Amino acid sequence: MTAVLLEVRGLTRAFGGIKAVDSLSFDALEGGITGLIGPNGAGKTTVFNLITGVYRPTAGTIRLAGESLTGRRPDDVVRTGVARTFQNIRLFARMTCLENVTTPILARASYGPVSAIFRTPAARSTERAAREKALAIMRALGIEGSASFQASNLPYGMQRKLEIARALACSPKLLLLDEPAAGMNDAETRELGETIKRVRADFGVTILLIEHHINLVLDICAHVVVMERGALLAHGAPADIRENGAVVEAYLGRRRERTS
Ligand SMILES: Nc1ncnc2c1ncn2[C@@H]1O[C@H](COP(=O)(O)OP(=O)(O)O)[C@@H](O)[C@H]1O
Ligand SMILES: [Mg+2]
């Protein structure tokens, strides 16, 4: 039996009178890829903001491997083992790609400005280890060839992969991906799907994936959670979701209209 890594129960967050997330409960199984889908405004990104401590829940609980994350601060949540990417890319635009990935590694290694200035042998060996780890992560994502390029000069699809690399640099147990295929064409999206599967296997992470490319979700996720207006509309295996009339109407139907 597979263990539950992320357990969300009764999660609620109101903004003014509107419940962006409304009594939402779901699990993400350890080592699996769980999809989180729903129409625009359904509350998906707010769920990520609640898990990562950007917002405090109005009600409900969030647990990671049995440990409560509810109401914890963002830096504390990262240390507990959760890392994310953003719907709108947030890289250190002026740093190189490699620096974008080494920065979180060095932050975890309590490598401060004093070590950096005096460049003690210990600091140098910490830097070397961070660089090797960062390059290994970038290799897994197929972007190691861009290590020395400035992040803002990368093509869009590679910036999305660099964001995933930077999140992996935090050594998370749970990786939250917010629309990683946004702006990608079908071929790029399929290739990203392969990359996400490889990342899951190579790094042993559990993944929660928000994505509008519905075929990507149905292809690579073992379990799919569907939200509508903040609440759980349905959940199940991809085959069940495909056949679910309410989902087809609320999400897939609307999506088809919009893209046609
Ligand atoms: N900080 C905020 N203040 C007010 N309303 C918000 C805030 N964040 C999200 N919302 C609202 O919550 C709802 C869900 O948004 P969001 O989680 O971004 O949806 P999704 O990611 O599914 O498209 C939307 O109606 C949005 O306007
Ligand atoms: Mg969103």
Instruction: Mark 220-238 as b/e (b = at least 16 C-beta within 10 Å).
Output: bbebbbbbbbbbbbbbeeb
For position 108, what pLDDT does the model report? 81
Which residues, other chains included, contact 107 with Cβ-Cβ below 8 Å and sequence gap of 6+? none
| Block mean pLDDT (10 aa), the chain, length 260 | 93 96 98 96 97 97 97 95 92 93 87 70 87 96 95 92 96 97 92 96 97 94 96 95 84 52
With a 6 Å cutoff on the Cβ, whether 123 touches ligand 1 is no
DSSP sequence for 34-53: EEEE-STTSSHHHHHHHHTT
For position 14, what pLDDT does the model report? 98
For position 111, what pLDDT does the model report? 65
Nearest CA to ligand 1 atom 5: 15
CA 151–ligand 2 middle distance (angstroms): 23
For position 254, what pLDDT does the model report? 53
Nearest CA to ligand 1 atom 1: 15
For position 259, what pLDDT does the model report? 45
For position 244, what pLDDT does the model report? 86
- The CA distance from 231 to 229, in Å, is 6
Residues forming a β-bridge with 226 = 37, 234
CA 82–ligand 1 middle distance (angstroms): 21
With a 6 Å cutoff on the Cβ, whether 11 touches ligand 1 is no
Instruction: Mark 184-216 as b/e (b = at least 16 C-beta within 10 Å).
Output: beeebbbbbbebbeebbeebebbbbbbbbbbeb
Q: What phi, psi does 3 have (nearest 5°)?
A: -80, 155
For position 4, what pLDDT does the model report? 97
With a 6 Å cutoff on the Cβ, whether 39 touches ligand 1 is no
- Domains in the chain with CATH codes: 1-81+172-260 (3.40.50.300), 91-171 (no CATH)
CA 15–ligand 1 middle distance (angstroms): 8
For position 126, what pLDDT does the model report? 87
Which atom of ligand 1 sits closest to the CA of residue 46? Answer: 17
- The CA distance from 157 to 61, in Å, is 34
Q: Which of 46, 56, 251 to mutate to test the pocket of ligand 1 (most atoms within 8 A of CB)?
A: 46
CA 128–ligand 1 middle distance (angstroms): 41
With a 6 Å cutoff on the Cβ, whether 49 touches ligand 1 is no
